[in-house]
Amino acid sequence: MRFHDAHNHLQDERFAGRQADLIRDCREAGVTGMVVTGSTVEDWADVATLARDYPELVRPAFGLHPWYVGEQPSDWEDTLVRRLDETPGASIGEIGLDRWKEGVDFELQRDFFQRQLRLAAVRNLPASIHCLKAWGALYDILRAGPVPACGFLLHSYGGPVELVDPLARLGARFSLPGYFAHERKGRQRETFRHVPPDRLLIETDAPDQSLPSERNLHPLTAADGRPLNHPANLPAVYAFAAGVLDEPVEVLTLRVEANWRALFGASGEH
């Protein structure tokens, strides 16, 4: 089986230079595609390096996460355009809105999100979108447009089930993380039973959003001893998703591969 990760952060400094080992483990586990998603101007170079070194595996994404918009240089948008020009197959992400995180100006988040979303639309590039406690504002922005014609990903979708169909009509895909296997995430699991079959994707969000310990096939810790989510846990996320959706994992894997390729295929060719 071939597994595809719609969203991770393999460049994250918490992996402490172990990326080659992590990729070896991923390949042994059957992972054949992953979108490695940037968060700040400072980590885009590491994302680009992974895409250059592992072009058969890594699809790069460059974007500014809403938590960090207040820390970015004034020329961030020019830098983003250059990164996209220099990196074939790149998409845009992680971008979005977040009212859960304290101390980040929401209007600044909105400005950065809309500028990055507009760039994705103009270039027809997939956008990987983060949203926490801001679903109304996000929906209003997406509905007003523009959005990329190829579609966009709502990573770790935790919004209301009532928004699934309206968002899908706007071009949304929805990725399910292993973190939703935790017992307290029953509402999110039920929501994913309502995601259209051709809009479902699977993600690890590594090094974050770990599976419950009994499902964790690749325990990993940071230098300070804190647990990390290994990207090779992706097959375990698929197994969890197959249980949620009550379908054989072999069938789910083929469907998700088709969905992943439909969104993250050759850039600009959607």
The per-residue pLDDT for range 135-185, each reduced to its tens digit, is 999 999 999 999 999 999 999 999 999 999 999 999 999 999 999 999 999
Q: How many angstroms separate the CA atoms of 229 and 66, rounded?
A: 22
pLDDT digits (tens, 9 = 90+) for 47-73: 999 999 999 999 999 999 999 999 999
- Residue showing tokens 């240089």: 73
| Residue bearing the bigger pLDDT, 270 or 48 | 48
Residue 117 confidence (pLDDT) above 60: yes
- Residue showing tokens 């070194």: 53
Contact by Cβ (8 Å): 264, 92: no
Percentage of the chain exceeding pLDDT 70: 98
Q: How many angstroms separate the CA atoms of 247 and 252, rounded?
A: 7
Mean of the per-residue pLDDT values for the chain? Answer: 96
Q: Any bridge partners for residue 201, and if so which?
A: 175
What does the pLDDT read at residue 211? 98
Residue 114 confidence (pLDDT) above 80: yes
List alpha helices for 178-232, DSSP H. Answer: 186-192
What does the pLDDT read at residue 265? 84
Q: Is 39 helix (H, G, I), strand (E, B) or coil?
A: coil
pLDDT digits (tens, 9 = 90+) for 201-252: 999 999 999 999 999 999 999 999 999 999 999 999 999 999 999 999 999 9
What does the pLDDT read at residue 267? 34
The terminus-to-terminus CA distance of the chain in angstroms comes to 25
Residue 266 confidence (pLDDT) above 80: no
Contact by Cβ (8 Å): 203, 155: yes
Find the mean pLDDT for residues 122-133.
98
Element (H, E) at 20: helix 19-29
- Residue showing tokens 């899908």: 168
* Strand arrangement, sheet containing 152-154: 3-8, 31-37, 58-62, 91-98, 127-132, 152-154, 172-177, 200-203
Residues 6+ apart with CB under 8 A from 29: 3, 217, 218, 232, 234, 235
Find the mean pLDDT for residues 14-39.
97
What does the pLDDT read at residue 268? 33
Element (H, E) at 46: helix 44-53
Show the tokens assigned to 218.
Answer: 């690749």
Q: Is the preceding omega at residue 86 within 30 degrees of 0, hence cis?
A: no
List alpha helices for 128-248, DSSP H. Answer: 135-144, 164-170, 186-192, 234-245
Q: Which domains does the chain have, with CATH numbers?
A: 3-264 (3.20.20.140)
Q: Is the preceding omega at residue 207 within 30 degrees of 0, hence cis?
A: yes
